[in-house]
Amino acid sequence: QIIIEEIKNTLGIQENNPAYSTGLIWGGTANKNSKTIYSPVDGQLIATVNLATPEDYETVIKTAQQAFEQWRRVPAPKRGDIVRQYGNKLRQYKESLGKLVSYEMGKIYQEGLGEVQEMIDICDFAVGLSRQLHGFTMHSERPGHRMYEQYHSLGIVGIISAFNFPVAVWSWNAMLAAVCGDVCVWKPSEKTPLTAIACQHILKEVLVENNLPEGVFNLIIGDAEIGALMAADDRLPLISATGSTRMGKKVGAAVGARLGRALLELGGNNAIILTEHANLDIALRAVVFGAVGTCGQRCTSTRRLIIHASIYEEIKERLLKIYPGLPIGNPLGDNILVGPLIDKNAVTGFQAALKAVQEEGGTLLTGGEILSGEEFETGTYVKPALVEAENTFKTVQEETFAPILYLIKYTGDVENAIAIQNGVRQGLSSAIFSTNLGQTEAFLAAWGSDCGIANVNIGTSGAEIGGAFGGEKDTGGGRESGSDAWKVYMRRQTNTINFSQELPLAQGIKFDL
């Protein structure tokens, strides 16, 4: 309760001061269209939120449409200035928002702060970008002609985000969309609506201070029904969705059926390759953080460790020394590395995967237990598991959103390790630890890693915002965040201008009139 009060006060989120269609009742009781939010940290009821109805959805879209007419006329650098102000507010609220992320989602406070830092970083990036929405100019083949291309705002961007990065992934999308002149409608995960509401309230301050309509950034708290409405709605030219491959296939199909644009950031099955030339001290740090950090609930979490046979036993022994002593506990506590899983369903999924992989012939080396006792009454704290397995096992082929690390042995050349790494349906993040240039370059070659992210001597998780983020195959192919990911939020137009007194046709076509 102390945490809730503190968060309420510092973030200024008050009851009956709803963001669009979001009735927030602190500690209140549920009515038929509401959802109670309990913290995975201590099982306390944090708040109750009303879920939007299809009528609420219509209101939100109308509000967004109106705001778009105003917003797309604001010069891009001025839009950047609004994002700059939001970034400054986030600096001000960093600790309290980071704490709320930690309390509502369960990641450790350090990671909660890190998540808000990602938001601040993307704001800074977007501010610079607002003066760099460049197109090319081209030389026309015709005399007295000139060609260029320009990028225009697209419209309403639908953002469907997941519980594990409840605010950062939204901000990657929303801040780029904002400088691009789009308005957005954000449907956060139903599991983590409060962090979203907090972000909306902080944004509202900026919008009010600048006399802009709140409809530039819309929030809708709803269930899968609202997500389906968004995917099928041709008033939303772009849907950016983060979550499971199963969800992404549905969203992608619905958006594709109306020829809309979908930016999908879906499941990963990320591997680290440890060759015989790896610096094992740095490698183990990356492996442990990648596998157990965020309790294995990042889409970039390390799920497979592909180890050269010559160092396999040493790695196994070193991990077996580290795993039993991992600091697991209240993520807001000091020196904790592993917090809880998001809910009991996730715990069931964790245990089911461990059972299944053992039935397939895998060996559970350590972990897998649900912690009990005073600090762990929620039943959401688990011991991260290490499993010896084969890459071809069905369970290993799937993404289980929990801290399970599969140890897979390879022999011979690094090409064999790369084939194992690529031998899954997902293609998000990958890494190699090696000090041998031939091996690292083979990993980065066109015939190397098939993932959207390929790192050398760095783990699979924890990407910086400056690069484009996303992956191939079942990961969905979308790219968000840095580099030129902004282009998907804009429509591209090619302009040919004739300043001569003639009308020559392209390709030299002649005709008489």
β 472-473/426-427 pair status = antiparallel
242 binds ligand UN1 (CB under 6 A): yes
The residue (of 164 and 439) whose beta carbon lies closer to ligand UN1 is 164
Site string for ligand UN1, 450-489 (x = CB under 6 A): -----------xxx--------------------------
The residue (of 63 and 242) whose beta carbon lies closer to ligand UN1 is 242
Give the residue, chosen from 99, 107, 191, 298, that forms a contact with ligand UN1 under the rule CB under 6 A.
Answer: 298
Q: Among this protein's residues, is 265 annotated catalytic?
A: yes
* Per-residue buried b or exposed e for 126-151, using 16+ beta carbons within 10 Å of the residue's own CB: bbebbeebebeeeebebeebeeeeeb
According to CB under 6 A, which residues from 393 to 432 bind ligand UN1? none
The residue (of 48 and 455) whose beta carbon lies closer to ligand UN1 is 455
Cα dihedral 374, 380, 26, 198 sign: positive
Cα dihedral angle (446, 451, 455, 461), rounded to 10 degrees? 180
Catalytic residue among 104, 111, 118, 265: 265
Site string for ligand UN1, 115-144 (x = CB under 6 A): ---x--------------------------
In whole angstroms, what separates CA 8 from the centre of its chain?
A: 26
* Closest approach of ligand UN1 to the CB of residue 122, in Å: 10
* Closest approach of ligand UN1 to the CB of residue 162, in Å: 6
- Tell me how crowded residue 496 is: count the other CB atoms within 10 A of its CB: 12
The residue type found at 130 is S
CA distance 225 to 229: 6
How far apart, in Å, do the first and last CA atoms of the chain sit? 83
CA distance 316 to 406: 11
Give the residue, chosen from 68, 71, 151, 165, that forms a contact with ligand UN1 under the rule CB under 6 A.
Answer: 165
Query: Which tokens belong to 418?
Result: 């790369």
189 binds ligand UN1 (CB under 6 A): no
Give the residue, chosen from 48, 164, 240, 378, that forms a contact with ligand UN1 under the rule CB under 6 A.
Answer: 164
What is the number of H-type helices and E-type strands within the chain? 14, 22
* Closest approach of ligand UN1 to the CB of residue 480, in Å: 9
Site of tokens 């009735």? 23
* Closest approach of ligand UN1 to the CB of residue 460, in Å: 8
Are residues 52 and 34 in contact, defined by beta-carbon separation less than 8 angstroms? no
Q: State which residue has the least CB distance to ligand UN1.
A: 463
Site string for ligand UN1, 319-338 (x = CB under 6 A): --------------------
Binding residues for ligand UN1, total number by CB under 6 A: 11
302 binds ligand UN1 (CB under 6 A): no
* Closest approach of ligand UN1 to the CB of residue 246, in Å: 16
* Closest approach of ligand UN1 to the CB of residue 264, in Å: 12
Cα dihedral angle (219, 107, 179, 210), rounded to 10 degrees? 60
> Three-state SS for 429?
strand
- Tell me how crowded residue 20 is: count the other CB atoms within 10 A of its CB: 21
Active-site residues: which are they?
Answer: 265
Instruction: Name the residues that contact ligand UN1, by CB under 6 A.
Output: 118, 164-165, 169, 242, 298-300, 461-463
